[in-house]
C-alpha cells in the first residue's frame, strides 16, 4: 500500500510537470492576427478569474454550467497558458482512451494514429474542448460496467459538456440501468445528478439558456459548419422535407432496434455508434465532434479490423491534403458523410456481434 501511494504520487508529479511544460510552450505561440486558439479565445473570457460568465460573444461559451465549473481554475491563467493546459489534458485523455490489446504494435499504432489525426490536431489548434467529451464518455462506460454510482455521475456530468453528442447514449444508459442496477443505486445516481445540475442551474442556468437559444447560437444551426444529417440535406436545396424526416426517423429506428437487441452491454463500438447517431440526429453539431467518434468508436474498430478501421482513419485524415477553400466549403458535408459511414459500420458490427452470440447460445 505504501509503495502504491508513492507510485501514484510520482505519477501525479510527472503529469503536473508535463502540463506546466505545455503551459510554457503554448504561452510562446503567437495567436494574434491568426486563427490559432480561435475557440479558446472566445471561451476563455467566460472563465476569467474563476468567475463563470456567459458573455454575448459570437462563438463564446455555450456549455452547461455543471460541466464547465471544474475548468474555472483555467481562468486564473493567461489565455495561452490555459490553452496549453487544455491541450495537455486533451492529449492525455486521448492516450488513455485507447483500449489495451494483446498486440503492442497495434496498441501503440492506435495511440499514434489517434493523437496525430486531423480532428485531434484541429481541436488542439482551435482550443476546443472535444477531448473532454471523450473523457466523460469513457468515465461513464467505466461507471456503468463497474456499477460505480459516483464514476457514472461524474462521467455523465462531464460528457454532457456537449449534450448533442451523447443524447442517445444517455437514453440507452438510463434504460440499461433499470434493467441491471439495483433500484437504490440508480435512485442515488438520480439524486446526485439532480442535485448538482439543479445547483448549477440556480448559479448560472438563466445565462446558459440565453446563450444556447440566443441569436449567437441560432446562426450556427443549419449553417455551413453544421454536420447534422438534417442540416446537410437541407443545404443541398433539392431534398424534400419528407425525405429528410424519413432519413432522420430511419436512423432513430435503427438505433432503437440495436439498443434493444444488444442490451444491456456497453461496448466501445456500441457507444461509438451512439455518439455518431447523436451527431447525425442533433439539432446542431460541429466538425470538431468527429474526434469523439474517432476516439470512442473507430480506434477500437481499427484494433479489431485493421483493414476497415484503417480505411476510416485514412478518410478522417484526408482533409490534411485539402486547400483552405475546400475545407471551408465542403468540410461539413464531408464530416456528415464520414459520421454516417462510421455509424453504419459500427451499427453493423453491433448487430453482427448480437447474431453471433445468439447462435452460440442456441448451440
**Tens digit of each residue's pLDDT (9 = 90 or more) over 129-139:** 999 999 999 99
Q: Please tell me the predicted confidence (pLDDT) of residue 13.
A: 87
With beta carbons less than 8 A apart as the criterion, state whether 144 and 173 touch.
yes
pTM of the model: 0.92
The dihedral formed by the CA atoms of 267, 270, 271 and 272, expressed in degrees to the nearest 10: 120
Q: Please tell me the predicted confidence (pLDDT) of residue 326.
A: 85
Q: Please tell me the predicted confidence (pLDDT) of residue 106.
A: 96
Q: Which grid coordinates belong to 165?
A: 453528442
Q: Which grid coordinates belong to 44?
A: 476563455
Question: Rounded to a whole number, what is the distance in angstroms from the first to the last CA of the chain?
Answer: 46
Low-confidence ranges of the chain (pLDDT < 70): 1-3, 58-59, 214-223, 358, 361-363
Alpha-carbon span 19 to 13, nearest angstrom:
10
Q: Please tell me the predicted confidence (pLDDT) of residue 363.
A: 46
Q: Please tell me the predicted confidence (pLDDT) of residue 31.
A: 85
Q: Which grid coordinates belong to 218?
A: 441560432
Residue 264: cis peptide before it, omega within 30 degrees of 0: yes
Query: What letter does residue 219 receive in the DSSP assignment?
Result: T
Q: What contacts 127, CB < 8 A, 6 or more positions away?
A: 36, 37, 38, 39, 40, 41, 43, 44, 83, 86, 87
DSSP codes of every residue in 9-46:
HHHHHHHHHHHHHHHHHHHTS--TTS-TTHHHHHHGGG
Amino acid at each position: 500500500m505504501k509503495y502504491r501511494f508513492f507510485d501514484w504520487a510520482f505519477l501525479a508529479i510527472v503529469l503536473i510537470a508535463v502540463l506546466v511544460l505545455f503551459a510554457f510552450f503554448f504561452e510562446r505561440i503567437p495567436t494574434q492576427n491568426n486563427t490559432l486558439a480561435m475557440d479558446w479565445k472566445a471561451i476563455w473570457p467566460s472563465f476569467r478569474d474563476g468567475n463563470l460568465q456567459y458573455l454575448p460573444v459570437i462563438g463564446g461559451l455555450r456549455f452547461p454550467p455543471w460541466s464547465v465549473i471544474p475548468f474555472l481554475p483555467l481562468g486564473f491563467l493567461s489565455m495561452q497558458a490555459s490553452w496549453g493546459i487544455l491541450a495537455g489534458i486533451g492529449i492525455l485523455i486521448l492516450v488513455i482512451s485507447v483500449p489495451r490489446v494483446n498486440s503492442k504494435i497495434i496498441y501503440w499504432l492506435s495511440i499514434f494514429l489517434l493523437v496525430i489525426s486531423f480532428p485531434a490536431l484541429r481541436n488542439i489548434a482551435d482550443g476546443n474542448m472535444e477531448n473532454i467529451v471523450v473523457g466523460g464518455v469513457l468515465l461513464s462506460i467505466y461507471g456503468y460496467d463497474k456499477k460505480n454510482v459516483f464514476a457514472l455521475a461524474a462521467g455523465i456530468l462531464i460528457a454532457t459538456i456537449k449534450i448533442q453528442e451523447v443524447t442517445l447514449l444517455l437514453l440507452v444508459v438510463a434504460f440499461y440501468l433499470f434493467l441491471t442496477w439495483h433500484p437504490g443505486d440508480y435512485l442515488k445516481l438520480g439524486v446526485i445528478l439532480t442535485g448538482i445540475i439543479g445547483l448549477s442551474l440556480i448559479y448560472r442556468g438563466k445565462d446558459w439558456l440565453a446563450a444556447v437559444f440566443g441569436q449567437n447560437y441560432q446562426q450556427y444551426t443549419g449553417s455551413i459548419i453544421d454536420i447534422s444529417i438534417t442540416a446537410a440535406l437541407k443545404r443541398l436545396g433539392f431534398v424534400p422535407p419528407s425525405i429528410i424526416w424519413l432519413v432522420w426517423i430511419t436512423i432513430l429506428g435503427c438505433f432503437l432496434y440495436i439498443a434493444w437487441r444488444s442490451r444491456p452491454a456497453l461496448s466501445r463500438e456500441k457507444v461509438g455508434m451512439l455518439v455518431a447517431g447523436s451527431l447525425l440526429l442533433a439539432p446542431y453539431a460541429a466538425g470538431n465532434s468527429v474526434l469523439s467518434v474517432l476516439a470512442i468508436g473507430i480506434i477500437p474498430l481499427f484494433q479489431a479490423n485493421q483493414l476497415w478501421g484503417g480505411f476510416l482513419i485514412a478518410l478522417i485524415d484526408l482533409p490534411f491534403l485539402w486547400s483552405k477553400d475546400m475545407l471551408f466549403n465542403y468540410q461539413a458535408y464531408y464530416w456528415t458523410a464520414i459520421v454516417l459511414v462510421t455509424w453504419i459500420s459500427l451499427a453493423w458490427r453491433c448487430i453482427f456481434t448480437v447474431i453471433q452470440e445468439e447462435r452460440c447460445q442456441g448451440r
